[in-house]
Amino acid sequence: MSGSRTSGTIKYAMDAAVDGMWHARILRSPFAHARIKRIDVSLVPDGVVVLTGEDTRDLNHYGCQIADETVLAQGEVRFAGDPVAAVAARTRREADEALVCIEVDYEELPAVFGAEAAVAPGAHLVHAQHNVSENDAAYFGIRPINGTNVCHKFQIRHGDIEAGFAEADVIVEETYRTDSAAHVPMEPHATLAWWEGDRLEIITGSQTPFNVRMDLAIIFGIDQEKVRVKCPPMGGSFGAKTFIRLEGIVAALARKAGRPVKMVLDRSEEWQTLNRHPATITVRIGAKKDGTLVAKKVTCLADTGAYADCGPGVAQKMGFASPGPYRIPNVWVDSSCVYTNTPPNGAYRGYGQMQSIWASERTMDLLADRLGIDPLTLRMQNLLREGDAYCTGEVMHDLQLEQCLAAAANAIGWHEGRKGKGLSLLIKGMQTPSRASIMLKHNGNGSYHIECATAEMGQGAHLAIRTMAAGMLGIDVRHVSISYPDTAISPYDTRTTSSRSTHMMSRALAEALKDLRLNGIDVGIGEVRDEGGLNPDTGQGIASSHWHQGAAGAIVELDDETGLVKVKHLHASVYAGKVVVRKAAEMQNEGSMIMGFGTAMFERIEIADGQVTNANLSDYSVPSIADLPKMTHDLIEVEGALVHGLGETALPPIPPAIGNALQTFGVRMTTLPMTPERVLAAIDLRDGRVA
């Protein structure tokens, strides 16, 4: 498997090909909000298939959590980049040239930008009404507020917030903002589709084969069994390739063209396809003089763009992560997912956690300053310990927060002077409820084959699953093979997200092996289900069946005159439970830290009047090998512990560790990324200079 990556013979969705396939391109709206008055395709050359809203009128609304999307715009576009028409032609160039031949008349309409504006009274509505999706990705109590731009509002009501603040000796309040960021998987989105009679075949780069199948069945009004989704390995995803992206358009084009159609996005289109939620988060925290936390009130606004995608889930996780890994008797959280007229935002490595940890952990250091208590001491004093209840009411077990935090503090020499150093701590939930199944087949010659729907995007899940199976079977990993997801063959799995696959599949595998041995046949099937969920009005219940835990430390230098921050050292300590494949686990940590570094320092989508103005890799910068500070990390293991997922844990704590390090220079950062320009503004504030 790995050999094909170095030799270049591996085939991604971008490389998929079948005989007679045509190439597709999308015509996108130039306006953030407009009515389509007329589409004229008469100049499109013969031999090119054109698809417009007219051709897709019979198709159903879809969306993984809110059914707010149509395959192509139906008379109205809601963001600059919203697909208006699509074409398929013999070559990509012909398809490109055909796009220019389509004339569209628009009538521009007022648009709303920024979540704060979108929740203000009288804001124009991006969608008139919000219908919860029938897709099983809408797995929790989604609370849309019709007549507003809020498509989900999640609340935590724990203890008595007013009484809590009344008890506090010190109260700190601050508002934080995080900009949108791009996933930038090296392989862009790519999908190939064709119809065989009334059956739809799809080859697509996706982390969510079963959710894609479900939404395609909804769109075309056919049984799920008539849709087959195959997911070859992806050239990276980081959340970008979750739920439906191109599949609906490509399938509809293939239906009209009567032949296979393939679409690979241009790099620039990636910024119009799915980004990370910008967030505005206000935190108010109260503590006793001795540092005991007594109350915390948080308001989160997650800007989900023009279509909800999994924004409700992101807002929910942002909400229940925002109290942080601390014992706080009185907690009040409102977290809203808000529509605006910008490109859709969805799953992004860390899933809302990065935004809320930025706010929450920066506030801890502001509070520590006000109390005159060392930030490490303040955290140690309040962190959750075995048997403590979280603000959701669930009792916490298998907690290694203290060990993670101590390791991070030691790694950056916290006790040898604090100047330029910062720490942060997190717990992160896993998708709950969650269901995983796996099939283990004995080939009869001592070798085994695995079928499961875990997608491979570079995270190494396939090697981890094979390694675990080999360990259980007592054979060499070379004798265990695994297939890529194929909904016609793979047993059901929720999806490959939220760092759940290695953990869930390790348990499902144990069940499959038991089944194989008990039934004495050549096939064993194992399934595990984790139940849970939260009441959306009170936030009480089971947020997560399994908690990821981590801490980070940073050492920085600051150029006071330009605001340029030089990160000297980053450290992440992550609770791994039990490491399955060491090098792969290390790279998950390192990759998360590097992405966290980019998010902390410079990654930022610039949007002006709804238009992304830096949709290319020159104007949107991502970290290169020459940017890396010294980076170290731990994978903390505990004897007898379960395997914990590692795919995201080391990302969210990086930005606040750096922000907290800057605070030792009196520079109080509230907005991500911490561009030199923003840091200089904070220095001006410190020095009493008015810009």
Partner 1 sequence: MIDRGTEWFAPTTRAEAIALRAERRDEATIVAGGTFLGVLMNNGMIAPSAMIALRDVEEFKYVRVDGDLHIGAMTTHREIELHPLINRLWPSLSHMFSLVANPRIRNWATIGGVLADADYASDPPAMLIALNARAVVESRRGKREIPIEELILGAYHTAIADDELLVEVVVPAGTEKAVYRKFRTRSHEDRPCVSVAAARHDGKLRLAVGAVSPTPQMFPDICAIADGRSITSEMAADIGRSYADSIAPLDDARGSGAYRKRVIAVEVRRALEALAS
Partner 2 sequence: MKTTFSLNGQQVSVDTDAGDMLLHALRDELHLTSVRGTCGIGLCGTCTVIVDDKTTASCLIPVPMIAGADIRTIEGIGNDPVLQAFEDAQAFQCGFCTPAMILTTQQLLVENPAPSDDEIDAALAGNLCRCGCYFKIRDAAKLAATALAQRSGA
Contact 252, 70 (CB under 8 A): no
Subset of residues 23 to 52 that bind partner 2, contact rule: CB under 8 A = none
Residue 411 in 3-state DSSP?
A: helix
Nearest to 407 by CA among 633, 668, 681: 633
Segments in 441-573 forming alpha helices (H): 461-473, 501-519
Identity of the residue, 363 or 588, whose beta carbon is nearer to partner 2 in the bound complex: 588
Residue 458 binds partner 2, judged by CB under 8 A: yes
**Residue 583 found at the interface with partner 2 (CB under 8 A):** yes
Q: Is 626 in the site for partner 1 (CB under 8 A)?
A: yes
Please give the DSSP secondary-structure letter assigned to residue 78. -
Cα gap 612→344, rounded to integer Å:
12
Closer Cβ to partner 1, 171 or 681, answer by number: 681
Per CB under 8 A, contacts with partner 1 among 593-612 are 601-602, 606
Contacted by 676, from partner 1, partner 2, none: CB < 5 to 8 Å by type? partner 1
Q: Which does 611 bind (CB under 5 to 8 A by kind): partner 1, partner 2, none?
A: none
**Binding of partner 2 at residue 618 (CB under 8 A)?**
yes
Which H/E stretch holds residue 320? helix 311-321
How many binding residues for partner 1 (CB under 8 A)? 24
Interface residue with partner 2 among 101, 117, 222, 631 (CB under 8 A) is 631
Q: Does 91 bind partner 1 (CB under 8 A)?
A: yes
φ, ψ of residue 400 in degrees (nearest 5): -125, 25
Q: Which of 134, 19, 14, 35 has its CA nearest to residue 82?
A: 35
- 680, interface contact from partner 2, partner 1, none, CB < 5-8 Å by kind: partner 1
Q: Least distance from C-beta 685 to partner 2, angstroms?
A: 33
* Pairwise CA distance, residues 455 & 203, whole Å: 13
Nearer to partner 2, 237 or 664 (CB): 237
CA–CA gap between residue 691 and residue 689 (Å, rounded):
6
252 lines the binding site for partner 2 (CB under 8 A): no
Residues 182-201 that bind partner 2 (CB under 8 A): 183-188
Interaction of residue 676 with partner 1, rule CB under 8 A: yes
Question: Can residue 617 be called a binding residue for partner 2 (CB under 8 A)?
Answer: yes
Cα separation, 352 vs 338, whole angstroms: 14
Query: Residue 7's binding partner, choosing from partner 1, partner 2, none, with beta-carbon cut-off 5 to 8 A by kind?
Result: partner 2
How many binding residues for partner 2 (CB under 8 A)? 50
For 117, the enclosing helix (H) or strand (E) is helix 115-119
The beta strands (E) that lie in 547-629 are given as 547-558, 565-577, 607-608, 611-612
Residue 172: strand, helix, or coil: strand
**Beta strands across the sheet bearing 279-287:** 150-158, 330-339, 293-305, 279-287, 170-178, 671-672
String of contacts with partner 1 for each residue 546-585, x by CB under 8 A: ---------------xx-x---------------------
Cα separation, 553 vs 632, whole angstroms: 10
Q: Could you say which of partner 1, partner 2, none residue 677 binds, taking C-beta under 5 to 8 angstroms by partner kind? A: partner 1
Residue type at 587 in one-letter notation: M
Judged by the rule CB under 8 A, the positions of this chain that interact with partner 2 are 2-12, 14-15, 183-188, 233-236, 238, 266-267, 457-460, 583-584, 586-587, 590-595, 616-618, 622-626, 628, 631
Judged by the rule CB under 8 A, the positions of this chain that interact with partner 1 are 91, 93, 561-562, 564, 601-602, 606, 613-614, 618-624, 626-627, 675-677, 680, 691
